[in-house]
Structure 1
Amino acid sequence: MDNNQGMMSCAIGTWAVALLAGVLAAVLLMVLGGWSFMQAAFIGAVLFVVAGALISFILCRPLPPIGTATIGTAEEETPASKPAAAKPAAASAPAVTEAEVKPSKPLPGQEDLAARKGEWKYEGEAATPAPAKKPPAKKAPAKSAAPASAAEGPGTKPETLSAARDGGPDDLKQIKGVGPKLEALLHSMGFYHFDQVGNWGADEVAWVDQNLQGFKGRVSRDNWVEQAKILAEGGTTEFSSKVKKGGVY
């Protein structure tokens, strides 16, 4: 009876501590982390359940009765658990010496075999020559890799310019995802103006995505084409406005 009451008191205390921890965590998330009430309450509830179950399991489980561990240890050391002693070898089997394995001279007709192998079989036993070793298989010559310039990836290469038009290149950094390094790379590939990027179709986007060394996938991931169309028509985007104000680069 006293043991059950003690376990009940321990469980109530541990769950109260877990509840306090969950409430405290939820308050800290709302105050310091800027979380919403529902988000913080959910995390607090999860912490309450996990902490309560873990602390109850560690602190409130019943202890084994005194003497249980000793009895279990004694039972494990019973003679039945000891490995059985190895049975002595049968005395009737005579030991075979090396002198009995090899006769003193080769059998008739086996001189060539004896000279080749340096050993022979028992008298009256047919000689079996060792199987001939197979020559190592020749490795097929490795195929030469295709030159890097020939594999440009999927899609179709867009039309490029050898230099910017008379008015000079557009500020491609106004496209979200294009920084100074990426703008220089686009110039080296022949892309200087918004209308060039805005006219790319799906095949052209796939080609540029594959061939932007160090920036693969940026065209489709940052939606360059739609941004470039707006900028080519003289419009602005939220990102281009920040760039013009000098708050980005």
Structure 2
Amino acid sequence: MNKNEGMISCAVGCWLVALLGGVLAAMLLMVLGGWTFMQGVFMGVVVFVVAGALLSWIICKPLPAAGEASIEQAKPADAAKPAAQAAAPVAATSTAAAAEPEIKPSTPLPGEADLAERKGEWKYEAEPKAKEKPKAKKAAKKPAAKKATKSKAETPASAAGEGTKPQTLSAARDGGPDNLKEIKGVGPKLEALLHSMGFYHFDQVASWGADEVAWVDQNLQGFKGRVSRDDWVSQAKILAEGGETEFSKKVGKGDVY
């Protein structure tokens, strides 16, 4: 039996087995499943076709012969031989070339002796680098001259904003103190503070200059700046001469305090 006959007999056997399976499937569906005759036949045909195709493809697939397999395995080895044979002459050529001694001319060439004598005398020298200019030393920073400042003792009191303390009295003169509340800006509390500082009369306030005004402005605790802001000196001059101001008239009538 040759190869083709074997494949045909295998296929016939597979289709017979598939036919038997289709008939069996149709009978089981009709008996146990309650299918009709047509339904059972149709399903049997489907089983027959599918099973026959699968069995033929799986079981009857041709296998390579033993001789062919050995030939295919031998092919890579045979293909490697020409490459090895081609590499051998190349290696032999390189080895022979390395073994050959260097051939020197028997007759000296013209000028060879002159070149041999000069050999080693000439050398390349780089151009000397230009000398770097010494960096100019940074000029030492001179300490900034401190601005001359006058000490507190040397500065006039008026320049420092403290002013000069006016002349004070330890108590009011005979006849009692003047009513300093007639000066606009002086209330009962401020009048008591002025008394404690030694100021009781209009003429004292009228005699104050700029330095005295600055001193009093700075030392009126809780009322700083009231002297210059309300112009006490001008009012005190009028009142010290026996005159009256609009504000002093209201004070005299009792309209203010």
* TM range, smaller chain: 0.3 to 0.5
Return the TM-score normalized by structure 1. Answer: 0.39
- What is the TM-score with the length of structure 2 in the denominator? 0.38
More helix by share: 2
